[in-house]
Amino acid sequence: MILKIGYISFILTFFLVLAGTQSCKKKSTEVDMGYDYFPQNEGHYVVYSVHEIYIDTDKDTFDYYIKAVVGEPITDNSGRIARKYERYSSNSANGPWTIKDVWTSIIDGPRAELVEENNRTIKLIFAPSESADWNMNAYNTLEALDCYYSNLNQPYSINSTNLPTTVTVEQEDFTSFIDSRRKYEVYAKGIGMVHKYFKDYEILNGNPNNVKKGHFLEMKMVSYGN
């Protein structure tokens, strides 16, 4: 009888240990998909300082602020439930704000998408990894723009704000005898895009400082909230 009880006790212990092991395995294999790099909760906003330059026969420089707000649900052109992405402009970081654009944003499976000026773009791929790469313009008629990640889950400082966890989306880094292009965006967990750098210049004699014409845009986060 003692032997039988001991055997039963052994079996029960074995299954309890096995169950615990499986539970630990399940917890350890859970993957952080990184969806919080692209917040979609209604009312979430980010305010950016914007520095913009247009160079042609003249050089026009503009400094202003943009407030991007995640809005109410909306059905997009593909029949998906997306979010309004409302952009407001102002000469001050504190407003008053004037509506500038209404775009749409969505997380659809492994993709974070933003429809900018009627162009559907893929901003992020989940989960962010060093091996991920994608064509940002896969769903529009613009020239292909191959993106990849750098500085995964790294701290970043912008406008004296230290952000503990960010990722950089590398979009373009190209210089030739007649062109100089540099484009990237930085995203922070729980905030979204915190820094955008866009430079597309035609240059003379291979000198990136001798600009014939082009467009420069830089957006830096100054505040955010819900």
| pLDDT digit string, tens, across residues 167-202 | 999 999 998 999 999 999 999 999 999 999 999 999
Is residue 89 within 8 A of residue 112, CB to CB? The reply is: no
Return the closest-CA partner of residue 105 out of 153, 166, 35, 165.
35
25 and 62, same domain (yes or no): no
- Does 71 share its domain with 170? yes
133/66 same-domain check = yes
Same structural domain for residues 53 and 12? no
Residue span of the structural domain in which 82 resides: 35-225
pLDDT single digits (tens) 83-103? 999 999 999 999 999 999 999
Query: CA-to-CA distance for 198 and 50, rounded, in angstroms?
Result: 11
Question: What is the per-residue pLDDT for 29?
Answer: 61
Structure tokens at 18: 């096995």
Answer for the pair 200, 214: CB distance below 8 angstroms, yes or no. yes
127 plus 205 within the same structural domain:
yes
CB atoms within 10 A of CB 83: 22
- Quick one: CA torsion of 134, 138, 141, 147, rounded to 10 degrees? -10
For residue 33, which amino acid is it? M
What is the reported pTM? 0.85
